[in-house]
Amino acid sequence: MRASISRLALRRSALVGLLALTTLGTGCVKKIALNSLADALSSSTSGTFSQDEDLALVGDAIPFALKTMEALHGEAPDHRGLELALVSGFTQYGMVWVQWPAEQLKYSDFRSYQAGLERSRKLFLRARGYGLEGMDAAYPGFSEGIFTDPEATLQPTTTDDIPMMYWLGASWLAAISNSREHPELIGQLPIAAALLHRCLELDESWDRGAIHELLISLEPSLAVAGGADRSREHFARAMELNGGVKAGPYVSLATAIIIDTQDREAFVSLLEQALAVDLEASPNDRLANEYAQQQARYLLHHIDDLFI
């Protein structure tokens, strides 16, 4: 008897579900399905990649994931999580798997080095476009206002906007760093900096000091005195917040200010500390630490090209 009642209840439940779907219409069902897929892709991809121990394998897989998300974005253009995944994904891919290989050719194949930087610049601008779209979705007119009045445009933002603003700022700064032949982009440095400083105002501890880590490299480039001191302060705070498990801040400080001071001993010390970071200590940082340690090894190998 109970089994019959259960089967009847299940049939009724299925009928109600079918009627609901019919009422919603195929267009709405498609939108729900697309958003569900977008949720799955945008929430899982970065975590899976960041913990992988094979940097090359991840680099081979990311382009397919990014193109899949781009195609899905065309069908679900208002999905903010997907836009965040795209701005962060293209930024990281451009930095680690396009710009970094190009930089390693600087002393042996200058033409390929320049071509790699140009390709990475385009990827960073592509990422920036998705970041601006994501901010426009939350704040209509953001992508126009950020150019004309950054302070007023950023004022309404909240802690919920930090991930999007962080990656928007990161992609913008990365594009600027590769734009020696594009002065219009270089002139936008204060805008990109304003995004990161707004993130810092909202929550300076976000993602265990990720904002401070990015500002290590940014501060010396700003037209404000004391950039090197601020860079050191951001380094100290970043290491405090991440618990000493990240290698990136050591490399950032070494390249941001130590080369300019020509303090070879300090440079070597920082890079050796980066190499001493245990890759197993923080699985979520494994990929980033592997990248930072590759940079450290390369810089130590070419130290005579950097110091007189």
Q: Encode pLDDT of 88-98 as tens digits.
A: 999 999 999 99
Distance CA 96, CA 100 (A): 5
d(CA 214, CA 192): 12
Of the two residues 132 and 12, the one the predictor is more confident about is 132
Give the pLDDT mean for 267-277: 98
Note whether residue 20 is domain-resident. Answer: no
DSSP helix/strand/coil, 66: helix
**Is there a domain that residue 126 lies in?**
yes
Model confidence band, residue 65 (pLDDT cutoffs 50, 70, 90) = confident
pLDDT surpasses 70 at 17: no
Of 13-27, 60-74, 156-170, the one with minimum mean pLDDT is 13-27
Kindly state the DSSP code that residue 1 receives in the 8-state scheme: -
Whether residue 6 is contained in a domain is answered as no
State the CATH number of the domain containing residue 266.
Answer: 1.25.40.920
Question: Which of 103, 94, 30 shows the shortest CA–CA distance to 63?
Answer: 94
Residue type at position 184: E
Looking at the domain assignment, is residue 245 inside a domain? yes
Give the per-residue pLDDT at 42: 47
CA 223 to the chain's CA centroid: 24
Q: What's residue 57's pLDDT?
A: 86
Number of domains in the chain: 1
Q: Does some domain include residue 137?
A: yes
Residues in CB range of 59: below 8 A, 6 or more apart? 93, 96, 97
Q: Which domain holds residue 102?
A: 89-306
